[in-house]
Amino acid sequence: MYRAEAKGEGVAIKWHRTRDQSESKWWRVGLEQAVISSRTADTDAAQGSSVGAVSAFEDWRASGQYFTHRGHRVFWRSGGVGGSGTLVCIHGFPTASWDWHAVWPALEQQFATVIAIDMIGFGWSDKPRDYQYSILDQADIHENFLADQGISDYHILAHDYGDTVAQELVARDNARPTARIQSVCLLNGGLFPETHRALLVQKLLRTPIGPVLSRLSTRRAFGASLASVFGPDTKPSAAELDEFWRLAHYNEGNRLSHKLIRYIDERRQYRERWVGALQEAKVPVRVIDGLLDPVSGAHMVARYRELIPDADVVELPQIGHYPQVEDPEGTISAFRAFHT
């Protein structure tokens, strides 16, 4: 894994591998942001994390804000010191906007405004029990928020569940006389329901035992499942899995997994709309895909090339489901090339 280093504004960001001598394996220490705020980390920081990782993780939350959607608080974070443009980063399941932290400094330098929301039911946002979670609602959250901020034109960088939200946003944009979305970059995700290879736990969550399985979720089971979609040489450290678990478990969010997982059924229900959105997109679309992802890796890329005219794909051969975490340098390189 990698550590991001940035010194001052307007400088190139460097990634370094760091070695954990106690565990004798490569792992990523937390992000040192270009400008670190002088905030005190919360006392409930995940046990086992390094000082750097705790500082970055806690700073991410402390630097965020909240807005209200349907009476519930939704967490968001923003930055940006670049020359122009707005980038909206849309995270995946089951994590949150923290997924973008390793590439965040580079994105901030590229765009004037970078926005990442913890969608409702995820991360530091509210996780109401009695709520109809849907991709359509998550798209509404983004559109309503951007309208409130006075943002009419924007780029998208999305991953996993966020890819599906992005597909809905593109479908809406395709129907407008003037596009609001300027470009779309999609990381690993289930763009086509017929190629999405759900994990066993995802399949079980969609059955009648789903609510029970959600309640019985543990850090160990969560970590094992999440780590299984990473590449064999880019597995997350225990500290990273602690952070992901904290985000999923916050406000007992893990108990909602059987409700959030309904997006898999939505992908089948709205397949023509969401696949059609990519086929008919009015703006540039690029896919950056970790080919070793068992859920949406090489097999998804093959299907994408079959269905999407003039498919623009960058393959990361040794990477799994989380390119922005496993290979931030390669992800940023491919993303920047897309915007030049």
Domains annotated for the chain, with CATH where assigned, are: 3-8+24-338 (3.40.50.1820)
Residue 16 tokens, joined: 């370094």
Instruction: Summarize the confidence of residues 193-210 as an average pLDDT.
Output: 76
pLDDT (0 to 100) of residue 35: 28
Put residue 35 in one of left, alpha, beta given phi > 0 → left and psi -120 to 50 → alpha.
beta
Based on the number of CB atoms within 10 Å of its own CB, is 313 exposed (0-12), middle (13-18) or buried (19 or more)? middle
Pairing verdict, β 18-20 and 25-27: antiparallel
Confidence of residue 202 (pLDDT cuts 50, 70, 90): confident
Peptide bond before residue 94 is cis, with ω within 30 degrees of 0: yes
SS3 label, residue 41: coil
pLDDT (0 to 100) of residue 215: 74
Residue partners of 288: CB distance under 8 A and separation at least 6: 185, 186, 187, 313, 314, 316, 323, 331, 334, 335
- Tell me which of 217 and 304 has the higher pLDDT: 304
Instruction: Summarize the confidence of residues 241-249 as an average pLDDT.
Output: 94
- For the stretch 203-222, pLDDT in tens is 767 777 677 666 778 899 89
- Answer yes or no: are the C-beta atoms of 245 and 116 closer than 8 Å: no
pLDDT (0 to 100) of residue 65: 97
Instruction: Summarize the confidence of residues 308-325 as an average pLDDT.
Output: 97
Residue 243 tokens, joined: 């952070």
What separation, in Å, do the N-terminal and C-terminal C-alpha atoms of the chain show?
27
Strands (E), the chain: 3-5, 14-16, 18-20, 25-27, 65-69, 72-79, 86-90, 113-117, 154-158, 181-186, 285-290, 313-316
